[in-house]
A and B are shown apart, each in its own frame.
Chain A
Amino acid sequence: MSLLQQLKVHPSDRKLMIAYGSTGVAALAGSGALALILVLIRTPMFGVDLPGLYYKMLTGHTILGFVYWFAFIQAALLIAGATTLREGRRLWSLKLGWIAFAFTAAGLTTNMVGVFSGANVLYTAFPPLSQEFTATPLIYLGYLLTAIGALLITIDFLGTVTTWVERKRSLLSWKRMLGEIHVSTFAAICASVLIITVGIAALRLYGPAFMWSMGWLTFDPMTFPLQFRLTYHLMFHIIHYIPTIAMIAAAYVLVELTTGAKSIYRKTIAKALFLTYPLVVPPTFLYHLMVDPSIPENIKIIGSALSLLIWIPSLLHMFIITGMVEAKMRSAGHGLFNWIKHLPWRNPAFSSLTMGMLTFGIAGSLTAVLLQEQTAPILHGTFAVPAYIHPMVVGAASLIYMGLVYYGVTIFRKRQLWGLAIARIQPYLLTAALIIFAIAGTMAGYAGVPRRTAEISYGGLAPESWTWLMNVTLGIGGILAIIAGIIFIVVMGMTALAGKRLAPSEAPQGLAAPELTEKRKFRYTPTALIPGIIFVGVILAFTALAFGIIDRWPIHFG
């Protein structure tokens, strides 16, 4: 039986999942709408002069995109991992699920009221800057509510996991359950470890910060901002890897749904690789603090070296996923590279998966220089940072989630995909936009364009290259990405509300895996090694380039 046929969910659990998924898509739409205003302000050729609006839009855009789109969609994936991938088994407590949803929705509402009441604090809300805005408490309170929501849905998920153990006192029953569950469900358990860690850190960070912003607590004005930043970076670093795990877990489901491929390696290997994230993520948070003068240089170098560990599990997962497809296609008789031509490129969920993996590789290779002790201080305040984070967040993670949403909306709403023709274009358009954004934005960053500044002409003193680089980055890349986002939202909305109803045994059109007849057993996947080799080569090239730039920099640090 294919995975698509196995996907089942109880109507009550489905309602909760739809609530999470649709609120997440709404947050994404809101983030995209604010991105349009940012693009109009920051692109020199559009010449929209609204610097007062800039920081409000930037704060709203990042909170909606990075915090709430992910918080909601990942909670939906957590529920899917506990129910849909377990052949429709029930969530441990539906009531707790709805309470968690209510907390997260309250966090979103509180934060948006704060943003539009003038808390231009960016998503970081660092003191002492945050003290300047009267609406700041709403930002800290919103984050607190969201952290509670995330902790509650994770407790619900882990409670569900315990119901799968036949004999709770038997160690073997626990081990057997972990061996039996889907790779992606195991990944969700690993992500839960990080969510709990992040939840504890968020409560510890934003609880006192909220009371401080209300004037109920006073801290040393010299040490509090520094301590806030340290705790923030510990939490924020771990947060990054929740989408990483969720995205790769989603990729394992998508590869099965879109190609019918099964892993040729033991499931335990993929599961063990997921375990390495919570193992290597906490000790590597130092790479966010490369510009902190209070941390000794040797500690920063250790942080740089440890950060290299982060790529290893992701690279190996990508090899397994690509290998699954290669083995499936070559078992059907296709040649060494010929199998690539026969992949279901017109299935928007499959192209979301492959384009997501491509943008993941591009963004990952751009991070190399941002993790190193010598280059990070020079580049972290430049546009090189948004140039990598957008292909990582809007590309890799969001694209792969979008691929699953294509299935989710058709299966759960029992409707055909509306606008299949434009849905087919959407992942490619978004990827092309993000590649333009990444390349031109990285060049802009290396040329010194600042990261969070509304107006970059500096009265005509800025280098001429900054103008055309930002015109290409945002004027072309940014606008195309927004168009791709609008297509996704329209297709999702129209499918949910006006898509043709599916007959009980009917499969969604354009999303079915290709029918392949196995002609031979194929157990080796050499082509799947190629993306990893290219990735390592690109990282080395970028590092050499960055160190070349340092030598030509007019100011030397350290």
Chain B
Amino acid sequence: MAEKIEKETSSQPSEKGEGFLFWGLIFVTALNVGMVLWSLNLFAPS
């Protein structure tokens, strides 16, 4: 609801796809950090 009000009252124009960029960024960050931690665990010196 707060987001809806902000969207309606904001003076800045919104560009399509902003949500995709945000969630995409979250996803690739999680993917990269997760993958590197998993790989490092696999290749860790014993």
Contact = CB atoms under 8 A, between A and B. Distances in A.
Contact of A178 (B3, B22, B43): B22
A282 B19 CA distance: 24
Nearest to A204: B40
Interface residues of A, number: 43
A557 interface: no
Interface string A114-149: 000000000000000000000000000000000000
Contacts of A180: 12, 15
B43 A193 contact: no
B21 A171 contact: no
A186 interface: yes
Given A178-B25, A224-B45, A231 B3 contact: no
B2 A170 contact: yes
A328 B43 CA distance: 51
Contact of B3 (A170, A196, A268, A278): A170
Interface residues of B, number: 33
A7 interface: no
Interface in B10-29: 10, 12, 14-22, 24-25, 27-29
Contacts of B16: 266, 268
Contact of A175 (B19, B32, B33, B42): B19
Contacts of A186: 21
A283 interface: yes
Given A197-B33, A278-B28, A176 B45 contact: no
Interface in A154-176: 167, 170-176
Given A171-B22, A268-B16, A271-B21, A200 B3 contact: no
Given A178-B22, A197-B32, A283-B35, A228 B45 contact: yes
Contact of B31 (A178, A268, A271, A282): A282
A453 interface: no
Nearest to A271: B21
A360 B33 CA distance: 28
Contacts of B6: 167, 170, 172-173
Interface string A247-281: 00000000000000000001111011001001100
A155 B39 CA distance: 23
Contacts of B20: 268, 272
A255 to B, nearest CB: 20
Nearest to B5: A172
A184 B33 CA distance: 22
Nearest to A199: B36
Contact of B21 (A178, A194, A204): A178
**Closest CB pairs A-B (n = 8):** A268-B17, A179-B18, A278-B28, A175-B18, A179-B15, A230-B43, A197-B32, A275-B24
9 contacts: A180-B12, A200-B37, A219-B45, A227-B44, A268-B15, A268-B16, A272-B20, A272-B24, A282-B31
